[in-house]
Amino acid sequence: MSSSKLNAIREQIDKLDDRIHDLLMERADLIKDVGAEKRRIGAQIVMPAREAMMIRRLLARHGGDLPQGSIVRIWRELVGAVSMLQTGLKVAVCADARHAGLSDMARDYFGGALPTQKANTPAAAISLLRDGQVDFAVVPWPEDGERDSREREGAGAAWWRCLMDEMDPPLRIVTRLPYGHYGEAPPHTDGTGLVLSRIAYQSSGEDDSFLFCALEPHISRGRLVDAAKGAGFEALNLYTIPARDEFMPSFHLLHVRGYIDSDAEGDRVCLDKILEILKSADGRIFCVGGYPVPPVFPGKGPADHAPAYAAPEISRGRADGGKKKKDKPAAEDGA
């Protein structure tokens, strides 16, 4: 049984649905025009930074009872169904038992219409990307203590070692998953993933970046963090692959606040400053991408959107696997 008032409200909703549908179709036509123009001028088709700025603008003007998280998921589905689907893009996702949640995160970000291929390991997902079979690879957040992926495969292998490989264009980190969460924003979460691609890492106005560092094995993690601070960087996390021997470098993935462009003169000076502080003659430091800082939604949110976060302190031990009771200040800590 329904009242005349209820019927009137339903009629209003039906008219709104028609208007929304009309606008969606109009938006899809405009997106086709944008895609055609990008192809004509050779511009990058997918732009995570631009998409992040769009969502931030919408959240800034949002009001009412519809949750912010729902707004993000609606617009992410729009981007996936219209922009990405029309370009024929594909995604590979690391979907092993430890990281089963990455598939859901990838679907929320790329949309349910985008073809997704599951991979048993991060290395397998990256291999599909490297070979051109997919356009994006979704991998788990790095863990400290992992080994070089060139020496070990599967669990415990540091997939990020591949970011040093010379490719044109190179593999880069371009965004972080999930895109948005409830509660306080941590610098690192155990329940997150990163998206790799061969598209350019661009600034969204609020970003965090990753620096790949190949350094002499005697340089400790603590010295690297101190040197980064001395060069103007705020270190959030540090992941290390110890050197195999005294003649090989140690590899570090330094997670820092802000957007970094290794080719920009100002950023290059700061990166070189790290090497200068460390007195590293043979070291290399360059940015391997990053991500737009995801939105933080008010409230606790649903249980499945409120993972337990862990942000451990950065261990300051030696990069060559040895132990130090205490690091001296960078200016006094040897070569």
Confidence (pLDDT) at 92: 96
From 117, 112, 47, select the one nearest 80 (Cα to Cα). 112
List strands edge to edge, sheet with 250-257: 116-119, 91-94, 136-140, 193-197, 172-177, 284-292, 207-215, 250-257, 235-241
- Number of other residues whose CB lies within 10 A of the CB of residue 170: 16
Q: How far is CA 124 from CA 12, 89, 130, 153, in A?
A: 51, 18, 10, 9
- Taking 70 as the pLDDT cut, the residues of the chain under it are 1, 83, 85, 147-156, 184-190, 300-335
Count of Cβ atoms closer than 10 Å to residue 129 Cβ: 23
**pLDDT at site 149:** 52
For residue 141, what pLDDT is reported? 93
Secondary element (H or E) of residue 276: helix 265-278
Residues 200-221 have pLDDT tens digits of 999 999 999 999 999 999 999 9
pLDDT reported for residue 333: 32
The conformation of residue 170, written as its DSSP 8-state character, comes to P
CB 324 within 8 A of CB 220: yes
